[in-house]
Amino acid sequence: MNRTRRAFRVLRVLAAVLVAGTAWTAVPAGPAVAQVKALRVGVANSYTGVAIPYTIPEKEAMLLAVEEINAAGGVLGRPLELAFRDDKLRPDLGLTNLQELVYQEKVELILGPFSSGVSLAFADWAKQHKRLFIATIAATHRLTNEFWNPYVFRVNQHVFFTGRALARVAAKLPHKRYAVIGQDYEGGRVPWDAFLEVLKKEKPGVEVVSQQFPKLGETDFTPYITATLAARPEAVFVTLFGTGFQQFVLQAKPYGFFDKVQLIGPYSGRPDDHRGLGAEAPEGMLLNGYPWSADIAPFSSPPHREFVDKIRKRTGNWPVWGSITGYIAVKAAAAGVTKAGTTDNEKVIKALEKLPIDTPLGRMHFRDFDHQLTIPAWIGWSKVDPKIGEMTLTRIQEIPAEQGLQTKEEILEIRAKAKK
């Protein structure tokens, strides 16, 4: 059994253990809040299939955040509790979970989900039921663009932003002949469209020589690899993620793929997507990622190093991107309730808008017109770090949210067109 399959099997077993049933996960509170009615928060997420490498570490980071909050006295003097539900990547089951969490379990806030499709269903439900939810991993740009409503917040980068951020760096490279290999769904196509739009503006003369979009869930990438190489591109934009990216790498190596072209990717610099490769990860890829071990700010800052150490101690593993999104989401929810002085969702929404949120990666805020967190992108070149036994990024460039996110004017125009 190869390393990727073995890691995936371990995560699948962990998922079954962690999400069996729908029990509350209560973190011990300090004596001052132990006898007070708990503040219950529902986590409606996916703990099945391709989501596992992201959502299981995210869950552990959420529990770490709850543990810290309760140790400091809770939220408005109340201990925080989380309830986890698995939507199995199905919007219908996700909506059922929301109904049960809110009206049976009496949760006062919602976090999640993983799936972009589920998140869009959540947005409509949140508007109808006037319930705040904070999206943690769902990355569709439509969630904060045309499908947005005031009850929707997001802590993760979205796909349009990551494509634009990569283009800012790639435009300075000499390559002009481009190809793409991306899974055939929104997360595979939108980053490429955003990347190409910016790249063509900043680098006239760019030519697209091949576009390959295997179906979501494809495991045999050989035909797409050979077709791409036959078109003789200089750079290839790859939007595969998770085990799909790992399988692609292992299948592409025998063809000398990484010696012949410059690979550029919006996801694969995150440990969630490359960790199964270990030291077999190719070097020299230009990626958006989470280089948690980097010796530059914000990764070398005391708050981030402390976060890394706590995750390592809690789970036995280094953090992944899901660890950051889960931790920030819980801390942001607690900050919003604290600022509002109540769990009334309307008041929490107003409190969260532009509220400074201190995270392990620095201070950020939710923009008031789309409720997107101003989390930057970190673009760098892949290199295997022998000290940690996996890939990291070097020569890292931080792309601030303001340089990659769509402006207020752009988003308002998109929403106006969507209403017609």
pTM assigned to the model? 0.91
Tell me what pLDDT residue 321 has.
97
Which contacts of 206-211 are long-range, i.e. CB under 8 A and separated by 24 or more positions? 206/176, 206/178, 207/176, 207/177, 207/178, 208/178, 208/179, 208/180, 209/177, 209/178, 209/179, 209/233, 210/179, 210/180, 211/179, 211/180
Nearest one of 339, 344, 369 to 355, comparing CA atoms: 339
Tell me what pLDDT residue 91 has.
95
Owner of token pair 């799909």: 244
Tell me what pLDDT residue 27 has.
53
Q: What is the CATH number of domain 3-158+299-364?
A: 3.40.50.2300
Beta bridge partners of 378: 398
Tell me what pLDDT residue 34 has.
53
CATH 3.40.50.2300 residue ranges for the chain: 3-158+299-364, 160-294+377-406
User: What string of pLDDT tens digits covers the 420 residues of the chain?
Assistant: 444 444 444 444 344 444 434 445 555 555 555 578 999 999 999 998 889 999 999 999 999 999 999 999 999 999 999 999 999 999 999 999 999 999 999 999 999 999 999 999 999 999 999 999 999 999 999 999 999 999 999 999 999 999 999 999 999 999 999 999 999 999 999 999 999 999 999 999 999 999 999 998 899 999 999 999 999 999 999 999 999 999 999 999 999 999 999 999 999 999 999 999 999 999 999 999 999 999 999 999 999 999 999 999 999 999 999 999 999 999 999 999 999 999 999 999 999 998 999 999 999 999 999 999 999 999 999 999 999 999 999 999 999 999 999 999 999 999 999 998
Distance CA 117, CA 138 (A): 8
Distance CA 145, CA 116 (A): 13
Tell me what pLDDT residue 7 has.
46
> Hey, is 125 helix, strand or coil?
helix
Domain 160-294+377-406: top CATH class: alpha beta
